[in-house]
């Protein structure tokens, strides 16, 4: 399959980060320690995939991105 054009994947990357920060309390600390940031991102992505009954891979896929782009409530999914 054709690779996503760079713009959309950067754009999609932004969608993912914003979503996880807003609804899964991803901390904006990737600047300080990139490895820890990637690990955090994977954990939070798994939490989101688990919540929505998606395949829990911790890896971005089209189904996960599709759910992230759906209109929704602004309250985080983590009760706390």
Partner 1 sequence: YTTFPGNTKWKTNKLTYRIVNYTPDLPQSEVDRAIENALQVWARVTPLRFTRLYSGTADIMISFGRGDHGDGYPFDGPDGTLAHAFAPSVGIGGDAHFDEDETFTSRSSSGYNLFLVAAHEFGHALGLSHSTDPGALMYPVYSYTDPERFSLPLDDIRGIQSLYGPNPDVTPEKPDPEKPTPPTTPNACDPNLVIDGITTLRGEMMVFKNRFFWRVYPQSNQPELTLIKSFWPDIPDNIDAAYESIKADRVFIFKGEKVWALSGYDVVSGYPKTLSSMGLPATVKRITAALYDEVSGKTLFFDNKYYYSYDETKRQMDKGYPKLVEKSFVGMQGGVTAALQYRGFTYLFSGSNMHEFSSRSKKLHRVLRSNYFLGC
Q: Contact residues for partner 1 (CB under 8 A)?
A: 22-23, 51-56, 63, 67, 70-75, 77, 79-80
Residue 3 vs 73, nearer CB to partner 1: 73
Burial readout 3-28 (b: 16 or more C-beta within 10 A, e: otherwise) = eeeeeeeeebeeebbebbeebbebee
Report the residue number, 37 or 52, with the smaller CB distance to partner 1. 52
Minimum CB–partner distance for residue 35 and partner 1 (Å): 28
Backbone angles phi, psi at 2, to 5 degrees: -60, 140
How far is 49 from 4, CA to CA, in rounded Å? 21
CB of 75 to partner 1, least distance (A): 5
- State which residue, 40 or 49, has the beta carbon closest to partner 1: 49
Listed residue (15, 11, 10, 9) closest to 67, CA to CA: 15
In the complex, minimum distance from the CB of residue 1 to partner 1, in angstroms, rounded to a whole number: 13
């Amino acid at each position: 399959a054709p690779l996503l054009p760079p713009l959309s994947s950067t754009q999609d990357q932004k969608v993912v980060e914003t979503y996880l920060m807003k609804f899964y309390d991803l901390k904006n600390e990737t600047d300080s320690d990139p490895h820890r940031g990637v690990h955090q991102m994977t954990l939070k992505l798994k939490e989101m995939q688990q919540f929505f009954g998606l395949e829990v891979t911790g890896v971005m896929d089209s189904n996960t991105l599709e759910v992230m782009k759906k209109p929704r409530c602004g309250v985080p999914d983590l009760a706390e």
